[in-house]
Amino acid sequence: MTVATLFQRPETADEFSTWSFTHQAMHRDIARVIFEVSGIRLDEFVLDPFDPKDEASWATTHQIMHEQMNRVLGISGFPLNAVDWSNSDQLETWLRVHGNEHFQAGQILNIG
């Protein structure tokens, strides 16, 4: 699993499954390494499985996880809790800024 998966637009059910699993695993790795390095415990919410048609609570809890991660790591984040998964332009922008936050966290923590 690599961060590159998070930049790719999932189109099929299998691609969404892979994206969702990879995304959850990356959040767990980030939280684990932050705890190991600093003793700071981040909140963890269930992000997998993800269904873009039923994302209301997912978007909120996902935003909380990014805000905590970004605060600890000094990453300038973006609002990630409002994206229309059926709007190609919005989704492409969201995937880019979201993936970039994960990429930066991985670089800082020397993971994936």
Phi, psi angle pair for 84, to nearest 5°: -95, 105
What percent of the chain has a predicted confidence (pLDDT) above 70?
A: 98
Question: Are 23 and 47 contacting, i.e. CB atoms less than 8 angstroms apart?
Answer: yes
How many CA within 13 A on the CB side of residue 94? 17
pLDDT at 74: 97
Q: What pTM did the predictor assign?
A: 0.92
Read off the pLDDT of residues 74-94 as tens digits, 9 standing for 90 and up.
999 999 988 888 899 999 999
Phi, psi angle pair for 10, to nearest 5°: -75, 130
pLDDT at 1: 57
| E strand intervals along 22-85 | none
Read off the pLDDT of residues 48-76 as tens digits, 9 standing for 90 and up.
988 777 777 899 999 999 999 999 999 99
- Sign of dihedral through CA atoms 25, 29, 31, 32? positive
